[in-house]
Homo-oligomer: A and B are copies of this chain.
Amino acid sequence: MRKNGRGELDLRPILLEPRVSKHAEGSCLVRFGDTHVLCTASVDEKVPPHVYGTGAGWVTAEYGMLPRSTHERMQREAARGKQTGRTLEIQRLVGRALRAAVDLRAIGPRTVTLDCDVIQADGGTRTAAITGAYVALVQAVRGIQKRRQLAQDPVKRSVAAVSVGIVAGQVHLDLDYDEDSTAEVDMNVVATGDGALVEVQGTAEGKPFPRAELDRMLDAALAGLSRLKELQEAALRTP
């Protein structure tokens, strides 16, 4: 039995609290159980060099953890002078995932930066970040639409993410830190609201896994993602 009576295919209690920032164009404090991530969307009327002059816009993400968001205090990346490989990998993933949600040409020549800062960590920070950043991104895009005449709606589809793994031989959805530490296989699935895949990353932690397990994990993840989609929609309806 999992903590708090959770079933193997249940998500943790999920909370998506939109509009928590006084300054940002979009924001969402997302909680997957004890994992809390503050996502903000900032709109800048400039684009990076590789997009400049094409008329299209850009969506990018940055990720960070507060030094004591974790069980043991981690060194502050700003003090250390560089971001770890894990941080860079996560923020590249979050950026790719959110670019799948929008039509960059329809956004026009501006950049939306999604800052995902982990206030408290208990496993699954990258999947919580993607799920919350989508809410912040949509708010920011709606704001652009209000201020500018956009020919088309830039939001093409919803995007969310969840982790899934094999713990003690069984598929478990939405792993917390303790489960993640003992999982035999760990997978992150990013998908759209109608179940198409955006990114799949599965890793054997101990020993290699048969393809059949990949299938069972995908089943579980897609079920969870369909629930996350409803919660995102509810959050976006909150005035």
A: residues with CB less than 8 A from B are 21-24, 27, 34, 38, 40, 42, 44, 62, 64, 66-71, 73, 76-89, 91-92, 96, 100, 113, 115, 117, 119-120, 122, 157, 191-192, 195-204, 207-211, 214, 218, 222
**Which residues in B have their C-beta under 8 angstroms from that of A78?**
64, 76-78, 80, 82-83, 87
CA distance A218 to B83 in the complex (A): 33
Q: Is the CB of A208 within 8 A of B115?
A: no
A191 to chain B, nearest CB (A): 7
Number of copies: 6
Q: Which residue of B lies closest to A96 (CB)?
A: B203
Known pairs A191-B208, A196-B210, A211-B218 / 18 extra A-B pairs, C-beta < 8 Å:
A22-B34, A40-B67, A44-B73, A64-B78, A66-B117, A76-B78, A77-B78, A78-B87, A84-B88, A85-B92, A96-B203, A100-B207, A119-B119, A196-B209, A197-B210, A200-B200, A201-B201, A211-B222
Q: Is the CB of A200 within 8 A of B202?
A: yes
Given contacts A77-B78, A203-B96, contact A67 B115 (CB under 8 A): yes
Partner of A208, one of B84, B87, B89, B100: B100
CA distance A209 to B189 in the complex (A): 12
Q: Is the CB of A120 within 8 A of B23?
A: yes
**Which residues in B have their C-beta under 8 angstroms from that of A67?**
40, 42, 62, 113, 115, 117
A162 to chain B, nearest CB (A): 15
Q: Is the CB of A200 within 8 A of B214?
A: yes
Given contacts A64-B76, A78-B77, A78-B83, contact A208 B120 (CB under 8 A): no
